[in-house]
Amino acid sequence: MPEHFEIGKTVLGRPIECLHFAPPAYAKPKAKALLFGAIHGDEPLGIYCLARLATELLAMAPGRETWIIPALNLDGVAGGSKNNANDVDLNRSFAAHNWSPDYKAGYFPGKSAEDQPEAQALSKLIEASGATRLIALHSPFRTVNWDGSGQALAEGMGQRNGYGASSDIGYPTPGSFGSKYGVDRDFEVITLEIPMLSDEEAWRENRSALRYALDLPE
């Protein structure tokens, strides 16, 4: 059974849950993986896909040590909003070189970098775990976007879900997760954008890509 623990609480005090899966004892050491959904609260397909993936991992351990946070921005999920309960776009709030206090309406990055508990909890887990294969699930585009050293992984995933791989999402993303961990630290960072499908279709399209990322038989 996976280890199950709380990595912190949201602005409104909701516990942010995490699952930890160990690889089989015979697995070769590989970069540790961390996947998370719903940094944007109005993008629930990632939550569904990660729940399905976690269920499959109960039957077969991943080929590398893996952490799964099905939903980071639980207050946003509860309220159906992209931003957290302080109206911060958490994907503009990370302490990246390009974090900026300037913002467009709807993209408030916080008063200072990583001043929000959800971003703090995620960053703390990344440091503590040593995970460097980092996969964020978003909607509603249809691409496997990569930062840092994530190109090969993105191409492999993009072949499997048919979305293709891209290094440019098409607009600036100051203070994004990918800026901090991909651009600044050269980790394998994937922004998986799932189009607006039904839950089941989203899982069907992305199952192989997600299993591939964890070295599971597809």
8 A C-beta contact, residue 181 and residue 189: yes
Output 63 or 150, the one with its CB closest to Zn ion.
150
Helix (H/G/I), strand (E/B), else coil: 80: coil
CA distances, 159 to each of 33, 147, 154, 167, 182 (Å) = 20, 17, 8, 15, 21
Q: What is the largest CA-CA distance in the chain?
A: 51
CA distance 111 to 60: 43
Are the beta carbons of 133 and 64 closer than 8 angstroms? Answer: yes
Minimal distance, residue 22 CB to Zn ion, in Å: 29
Region binding Zn ion by CB under 5 A among candidate stretches 1-9, 42-50, 93-101, 170-178 = 42-50
Measured distance CA(6)–CA(9) in Å, rounded: 8
Closer CB to Zn ion, residue 61 or residue 77?
Answer: 77
Site string for Zn ion, 88-127 (x = CB under 5 A): ----------------------------------------
CB of 138 to Zn ion, least distance (A): 3
- Residue closer to Zn ion (CB basis): 23 or 158: 158
Q: Which stretch binds Zn ion (CB under 5 A): 6-14, 38-46, 59-67, 160-168?
A: 38-46
Which range in 93-101, 103-111, 131-139, 149-157 contacts Zn ion by CB under 5 A?
A: 131-139
Q: Which stretch binds Zn ion (CB under 5 A): 32-40, 99-107, 125-133, 165-173?
A: 32-40
**CB-wise, 21 or 36, nearer to Zn ion?**
36
13: tokens are 């005090």
Does 40 bind Zn ion (CB under 5 A)? Our answer is yes
* Angle, CA 138 vertex, CA 47 and CA 52 arms, to 5°: 30
Residues 137-176 that bind Zn ion (CB under 5 A): 138
Minimum gap (Å) between residue 177 Cβ and Zn ion: 10
User: Measured between alpha carbons, how far is 207 from 179 in angstroms, rounded to an integer?
Assistant: 26
The H-or-E segment that residue 125 falls in is helix 117-129
User: Nearest approach, Cβ of 204 to Zn ion (angstroms)?
Assistant: 21
* Helix, strand, coil percentages in the chain from 3-state DSSP, rounded to 5: 35, 20, 50
Kindly tell me which of 43 and 188 has the beta carbon lying closer to Zn ion: 43
CB nearer to Zn ion: give 166 or 215.
Answer: 166
Q: Residues interacting with Zn ion, by CB under 5 A?
A: 40, 43, 138
